[in-house]
Amino acid sequence: MHSLANRKLILGSTSVYRRELLERLRLPFSVESPHVDETPQPGELPAALACRLALAKAEAVAARFPEAVVIGSDQVADLDGLALGKPGNHARAVQQLQQMAGRVVVFQTAIAVVCRATSFSQQALAPVKVTFRTLSATEIENYLRAEQPYDCAGSAKSEGLGIALLERIDNDDPTALIGLPLIRTAALLRAAGLDLLASPR
């Protein structure tokens, strides 16, 4: 096991949601953009896409900061094997919510921790099964106008008004749906040698 006591911790993501979640662990960290092409490969399933991109993001930042411990994460909405990413605009968000209404969607949230200096590299997947209500066109339009979740995979923020779109959430890592599974993140950091509770915070 390698000590991370003197190593910089970096979140390889520009997501404000992931930054806010990581702050809950009360660890000093910085944020770097990974600059990774997120285009799916031909025939790539959503879970495989999320895992590949999480690792690619961590490795991209670790290449620039080899002494640091880097966290990478990615989330892909999985609708019966069809990958739904960030909509980017209103029209695509409407389309996504129409597709997901009344259906079960698995939000595949992947996490990777990499430290080049210690040759540490591990990742984990935290799938979250979400059951959407049957939604009217008016409900979809009113929700999107209120929250504008165009930077969220699946076009909904469960931590906000988006919870009103849902019937059920099933998961074993409560923050995974928001974008960073903290139980698995803490486990990977422990595996890398960082004990989050070694001293008072």
Domain boundaries defined on the chain: 9-192
What pLDDT is stored for residue 2 in this prediction? 43
Where does residue 148 rank: exposed (0-12), middle (13-18), buried (19+ CB within 10 A)? middle
- Given this model, what pLDDT does residue 11 score? 98
Tally the C-alpha atoms within 13 A of residue 131's C-alpha that lie toward its C-beta: 4
Strands (E), the chain: 9-11, 30-31, 69-79, 82-84, 104-115, 120-132, 166-170
Chain center to CA of 20: 12
pLDDT at 153: 86
Residue 94's pLDDT is: 97
Burial of 26-49, coded b for 16+ CB within 10 Å and e otherwise, reads: ebebebbebebeeeeeeeebbbbb
Whether 74 is a known active-site residue: answer yes
Residue-level pLDDT at 101: 97
Q: Following CA atoms 149, 88, 172, 48 in sequence, which dihedral angle do they give, to the nearest 10 degrees?
A: 180
pLDDT at 201: 63
The Cα angle at residue 44 between residues 87 and 135, in degrees rounded to 5: 35
How much of the chain is helix, strand and coil, in % rounded to 5? Answer: 35, 25, 40
Whole-number pLDDT of residue 111: 98
Question: Which residues are bridge partners to 11 per DSSP?
Answer: 31, 71
Q: Which structure tokens are listed for 173?
A: 């890592």
Residue carrying structure tokens 């008004």: 161
Q: What is the largest CA-CA distance in the chain?
A: 54
- The per-residue pLDDT for 5 is 55
Which has the closest alpha carbon to 16: 34, 31, 36?
31
| Residue ranges in the chain whose pLDDT is less than 70 | 1-6, 200-201
Q: What is the pTM of this model?
A: 0.90
d(CA 165, CA 153): 15
Catalytic residue among 74, 80, 151, 173: 74
Q: What is the predicted pLDDT for the residue at 4?
A: 53
3-state DSSP call for residue 181?
Answer: coil
When the candidates are 3.90.950.10, 3.40.190.10, 3.20.20.10, 3.30.70.920, the CATH number that belongs to 9-192 is: 3.90.950.10
